[in-house]
Structure 1
Amino acid sequence: MSGLRDLKKERTRQALSDAAVTLFLTRGFDQVSVADVAAAAEVSKPTLFRYFDSKEDLVLHRAADHFGEAARVVRDRAPDQAPIFALHQHFQRGLDSHAPTTGLCDSPDVLAYHRLVFDTPSIAARLREVTADDIASLTEALRGATPGDLLPRLIAAQYAIAREILARENWAKLASGRTAASVHPEATAAASAAFSLLAQGATTHGY
């Protein structure tokens, strides 16, 4: 029974997020209230706040499956695989499949969603908080059984910054009118250069 309740809660959460993003893209983030979202989803405002703490979280829920992803990639890598190499492989697979998280997805809906996230200051600020949590999770995955070392935190932060720059650069090229297919070779080369820089520092210190 608890599994069914959890499924119903997730469906409600998804419906709220979908309704919110649709309204935000149509009317603008600042022009839509939480009450507007609740009405569109046919729930009460208190009900909405049981699922989401803020308007910004309604938007970012669309990417919630990817929160903590880098840490999972590192934990699940092959025993003989360097963490940065595993992260590079994962990012490259995203580029090859035009995954929205890499910025290399030219679906109009995805382009509009990224513009909403990148161009709305409060959403961008909330995303930085989520990224900080991701950095903390990746740090712990890199540390493994060696707590307290500063180097994993530095590597995790550098990875997060590099990944954000790569994704934003890809999105900017697509937003200018180019196709994902035409940008793919450049995105692959940029990712190779970025992860090579990360690897040079990380492998020097055993990561």
Structure 2
Amino acid sequence: MNEELGLRERKKRETWHLLMTTALDMFEERGFDNVSVAEVADKAGVSKATVFNYFDTKEDLVVAGAKAHIHEPADLVRDRTPGETPHSVMRDYFLRGLKEREPMSGLSDHPMVLQVQRILRENPALGLRAMEYRRQSASLLAEVLIEEGSSEMTAHLVASQLLHVQHILAQGNIRRVWAGEPLDEIYPDAVASAMHAFQILANGIGDFMRREPDGTIDVAFHHERFSAREQAERALREAAVREAEDGILEKLADPERLASHRSSDVSGGDGH
């Protein structure tokens, strides 16, 4: 029975991958608006109904990677260990994504990921679908916080901020990858940026851009004491310690889990 289920799941992943790669090639060659789902099905040798069994909409043939991560933030926060906060869990999740060069972090140069980014650049309206998946992910995360006792307003504010910070960080990394910078050169700065961004969430923005009596504006956060590279080096040391101690990160590193998500995660920072 287990072998049969394993074969069935493998077949599903293969079909999913075939449909998406076929669609991406056709969209890039002819333009997203000039290719129908029926044509994708015909090219892949399946029925149109089969395509919709795997992808709810035509747009999902491009941004399905974002859909694969909808439940992940809520699951991570719900399963966090004693002493962990939603903030720290999501910070460590993003740092892990950077280290593993996961598309969700924006720090990926996988050919399919780059192909998706090219299509998105040519068809900005496709980003609306990925945006909707981020909204759904934030809503699910907020539900977890509400279940644990948070007020609705606070839960939705916190969930939205955590996921939007991740999105902004990923987009910054995508721009540098797109410009041709090597991933290993981007990585330290990406870690520093992530630490800085999540530190802003941890400390708040109260004094940022205060207009002083003499007319000057204080543009720096008072807690910034390290250069970007120093922040990155410190963050990497802290991440190594957390990885050894954090059960949540161990779950994220599970080979079977990564294998099941890596094949479907192809939408970079527009997923979470």
Give the TM bin, normalised by the shorter chain. 0.7 to 0.9
Provide the secondary structure at the position in 1 that maps to 2:134: helix
Q: Say which SS state the counterpart of residue 55 (structure 1) adopts.
A: coil
Aligned partner of 1:190 in structure 2 is 193
- Partners in 1 of 2:35 and 2:64 — Cα distance? 17
- 8 Å contact from structure 1 (residues 95, 104) kept in 2: yes
1:143/1:149 contact within 8 Å kept:
yes
Q: Which amino acid aligns with 1:183?
A: I
Name the stretch that deviates more: 76-85 or 41-50. Answer: 41-50
Q: Is the 8 A contact 1:85 1:199 kept in 2?
A: no
Unaligned residue ranges in structure 1 (runs of 5+): 202-207
C-alpha deviations, 1:156-201, integer Å up to 9, x for none? Answer: 1111211111101100011111011111111111101111111224
- Please, which of 116, 122, 130 is the counterpart of residue 113 of structure 1? 116
Root-mean-square deviation (CA, aligned residues, Å) is: 2.3
CA distance in 2, matches of 1:105, 1:10: 21
Is 1:86 the counterpart of 2:89 in the alignment? yes
Q: Aligned-pair distance for 1:149?
A: 2.6
Structure 2 spans left out of the alignment, 5+ residues: 205-272
1:4 Cα deviation after fit:
7.3
Say whether the 8 Å CA contact 2:77–2:89 is kept in structure 1: yes
1:32 counterpart = 2:51: no
* TM-score normalised by the chain length of structure 2: 0.66
Per-residue deviation, 1:50: 3.8
- The one of 94, 99, 116 equivalent to 1:96 is 99
1:60 corresponds to 2:63: yes
1:178 is paired with a residue whose SS is coil
Alpha-carbon distance in structure 1 between the residues aligned to 2:91 and 2:85: 10
**Match 2:18 to one of 15, 18, 21:** 15
State, as a whole percentage, how many aligned pairs show the same letter. 38
Residue 173 of structure 1, aligned match among 147, 171, 176:
176
Cα contact 1:21–1:58 (8 A) shared by 2: yes
What pairs up with 1:36-51 in 2 under 5 angstroms?
A: 36-51=39-54
CA distance in 1, matches of 2:127, 2:45: 28
Which residue matches 1:75?
Answer: 78
Q: Distance in 2 between matches of 1:165 and 1:62?
A: 17
Q: Runs in 1 of length 4+ with deviation above 4 angstroms?
A: 1-6, 8-11
**Per the alignment, in what secondary structure is the counterpart of residue 59 of structure 2?**
helix
Point out which structure has higher relative CO (alpha carbons under 8 A, 6+ apart): 2
Which residue number in structure 2 is paired with residue 160 of structure 1? 163
Alpha-carbon distance in structure 2 between the residues aligned to 1:155 and 1:85: 12
> Are 1:16 and 1:37, in contact at CA under 8 Å, matched by a contact in 2?
yes
- Give the greater-gyration-radius structure (CA): 2
Give, in angstroms, the shift of residue 53 of structure 1: 2.9
1:139 equivalent in alignment to 2:112? no
Q: Deviation at 1:60? A: 2.2
Moved more, 176-185 or 44-53: 44-53
Q: Deviations over 1:131-153 (max 9, x none)?
A: 11001011112223326531010
Shift of residue 125 of structure 1?
0.6
Distance 1:118 1:151 in 2: 34
Residue 93 of structure 1 deviates from its aligned partner by 0.9
